[in-house]
Structure formats: structure tokens, C-alpha cells
Structure 1
Amino acid sequence: MSFAKITAIVRPAAVSAIEDLLHKQGIPGMSIGHVKGYGDYADFYRNDWMVSHVRIEIFIAETMAEQVAEKIMDVAHTGLEGDGLVAILPVSAVYHIRTKKRCEENAC
């Protein structure tokens, strides 16, 4: 089975709705962390331009990645600068540390 990693960097206000969506979609797991940075959107009122966002990371079957990314964008979209971004990256392998087994189709 081919895997993909979805990384979404979104406004903190969108996180609860995204979590609810992912749970309802049956996504088996995610990691969430607070991040600071700037890109297209920067806080020019701060000396370092940094903006607080939340990063969500999901390892998922490659065939589902586009669909999940689109759903995240639907929930996080406000149409304003600073909405964030979603990236999909290929993953060559996923392992469970506890069992030291490679995730395969229907066994991850």
C-alpha cells in the first residue's frame, strides 16, 4: 500500500472543526501541534513577523490523500489572508515502533 503524508497549517480557530471532520471521516490518526511562522501572510506589527498557526499531520493511504486535503480546505477556508496551506507528500514506508512492523494494506 502506498502512503501519503498530509501536512495542514491552519488558523487555530479552524482546528476543532477539522478534528471533528477527520473523526467523522474515520481517519485513523493525526498529530496536532502549535507552530509559528510567516509566508504569504506575515504580522508586520511584530518585529519578527511571526503568526501563530496549528500544524496537523496525517499519514494516510495515497488514494485518500486528495479527498482528505480537499475536506480540510473546505473547513479551514475563510477567503482571508492567513488561512494556511495543505501539502501532500509521498511516503515510502510507515512503521509502528511498538511492533516494529511495517504498515501494509488493512494492517496499519
Structure 2
Amino acid sequence: MELKCVVAIVRLDVVEVLERKLGAIHIHGVTVTRVRGFGVHPNYFADDWTTEHVKIEIFAQAENADVLVKTIMDVAHVGASGDGVVAVIPVEKFFRVRNQREAFP
């Protein structure tokens, strides 16, 4: 089974809606972290160039990655700078710490 890691950095205000939509497409394992950073157009006139966003990381089967990305983009998109970014990363190996074995050999 081929796995992908979908990483999205989105605005704080979309997290609750996104969590509900992910549940609706049967994505139940999600890591959500508050992060700070800036993208292509930082605010150089502010004391702190960074803004607060949320980073979401999801391990999914490769065949589900496109639906997952579309769902994230549909929920997070308002057409403004700061909407966020999404990346799909291949997963070389995936281990379960509980039994110290590769989960998908």
C-alpha cells in the first residue's frame, strides 16, 4: 500500500469546518498544530512579519490524496493572500511505535 503525507498550512478560522469535512470523507487521523510564519508577501511594516496559521498533517492512502487535497482547498479557499498552502509528500516507510513494526510492508 502506497502512503502519502498531506501537509496543509491554513488560516485558523477554517479548522472546525475542515475537521467536519475530513470526517465526512472518512479521514479520521489528523495532526493539527498552531504555527507562525510568513509566505511570499510578509508585512515588512509590522513589528512581527509572521502570522498565525494552523498546520495539518494527514497520512493517507495514495489513491485518496487527490480527494483530500481538493477538500482542503475547497474549505480553505477564499481567494485572498494567506489562504495557505498544501503539499503532498511520499511516505517511504510507516511504523507503529506500539508494536515497533512497519505498518504497511
Q: Report the TM range for the smaller structure's normalisation.
A: over 0.9
SS at 2:48 equivalent: coil
Give the paired residue count: 105
- Amino acid paired to 2:104: E
Question: What TM-score do the two structures reach when normalised by structure 1?
Answer: 0.90
**Unpaired segments ≥5 residues, structure 1:** none
For 2:59, the equivalent position in structure 1 comes to: 59
SS at 2:69 equivalent: helix
Alpha carbons of 1:86 and 1:6: their partners in 2 closer, same or farther (altered >3 Å)?
A: same
List structure 1 segments (4+ residues) > 6 angstroms apart after TM superposition.
none
Offset of residue 93 of structure 1? 1.1
- How many percent identity over aligned positions? 35
Deviations 1:37-57 (A, max 9, x none): 001242334223101100000
Tell whether the 8 Å contact from 1:40 to 1:82 is kept in structure 2 after alignment: no
In angstroms, what is the RMSD of aligned CA positions? 1.4
**Unpaired segments ≥5 residues, structure 2:** none
For 1:101, the equivalent position in structure 2 comes to: 101
Deviations 1:38-92 (A, max 9, x none): 0124233422310110000001111111110111000000001100000000001
For 1:27, the equivalent position in structure 2 comes to: 27
Tell whether the 8 Å contact from 1:11 to 1:53 is kept in structure 2 after alignment: yes
